[in-house]
């Protein structure tokens, strides 16, 4: 049950790659992670379909809502890795394939993978313990936020200020907010001593509070807010 490829750091297996041809399909690639016990040794898994379909995940349970069949019209492709930012091969100037984009982001730039492990993953302890990794949209949102916060901490950007960050629809904004609170508390507590999350209704408030509580992080203030004007009023009052 040897994997097709394995990425090691200091002898520790971190990313396991299972490669299938286009004819075999991505679903068969995923199946190997379910039936081969040795494949559980690596915390991060990559299922490949001839390099075209790339599924990057930590636990099979995370894939239950992911659309694996590209012929369907469903939009949820939560853990697919795609060339999100349109990286190009410097030699040919052609866009990277999805797997080339993944290798360029994490393997060729290991500091990015280090930050991914540090800031874009969380350990869930209930009902069972497993690692949750950020989706590609969440990762790039957090990467953008971290870059801005580093510039603030170095004095390159003045505070107080308001910043807006792009986040794709249907890609787990609740988890992104949870990961963002970790990032602020772990690395930027010297800038922010309080964290407030404002949400549009009580249902979303409960979901966020539950997410934070499951990971042992409840030192965050979650409030409901009715409309955009009220949100702007809250922001303005923070800096008075």
Query: How do residues 159-171 score in pLDDT, each as one tens digit?
Result: 766 677 666 666 6
Closest CA relative to residue 24, chosen from 54, 49, 60, 52: 49
- The model's pTM is 0.77
Question: DSSP labels for 54-92?
Answer: EEEES-GGGGGG----TTS-----TTB---TT--B-TTT
Helix ranges (H only) for the chain are: 26-35, 98-102, 110-119, 136-153, 173-187, 202-214, 228-238
Query: How do residues 179-222 score in pLDDT, each as one tens digit?
Result: 887 787 778 877 777 777 777 777 778 877 776 776 555 567 77
Confidence tier at 74 by pLDDT (50, 70, 90): very low
Task: Give the list of residues 6+ apart from residue 85 with CB closer than 8 angstroms, or none.
Answer: 101, 140
The alpha carbon of residue 136 and the mean position of all alpha carbons in its chain are separated, in whole angstroms, by: 5
């Amino acid at each position: 049950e040897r994997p097709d490829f394995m990425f090691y750091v200091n002898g520790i297996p971190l990313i396991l790659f299972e490669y299938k041809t286009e004819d075999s399909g991505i679903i068969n690639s995923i199946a190997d992670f379910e039936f081969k016990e040795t494949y559980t040794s690596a915390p991060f898994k990559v299922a490949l379909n001839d390099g075209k379909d790339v599924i990057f995940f930590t636990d099979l349970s995370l894939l239950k809502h992911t659309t694996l069949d590209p012929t369907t019209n469903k939009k949820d492709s939560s853990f697919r890795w795609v060339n999100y930012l349109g990286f190009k091969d410097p030699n040919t100037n052609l866009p990277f394939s999805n797997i080339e984009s993944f290798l360029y982001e994490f393997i060729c730039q290991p500091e990015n993978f280090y930050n991914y492990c540090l800031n874009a993953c969380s350990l869930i302890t209930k009902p069972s313990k497993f690692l949750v990794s950020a989706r590609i949209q969440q990762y790039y949102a957090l990467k953008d936020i971290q870059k801005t916060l580093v510039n603030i901490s170095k004095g390159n950007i003045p505070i107080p200020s308001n910043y807006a960050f792009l986040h794709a629809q249907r890609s787990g904004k609740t988890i992104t907010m949870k990961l963002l609170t970790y990032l602020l508390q772990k690395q930027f507590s010297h800038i922010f001593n309080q964290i407030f999350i404002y949400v549009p209704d009580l249902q979303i408030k409960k979901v966020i509070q539950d997410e934070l509580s499951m990971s042992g992080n409840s030192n965050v203030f979650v409030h409901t807010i009715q409309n955009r004007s009220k949100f702007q009023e809250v922001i303005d009052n923070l800096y008075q």
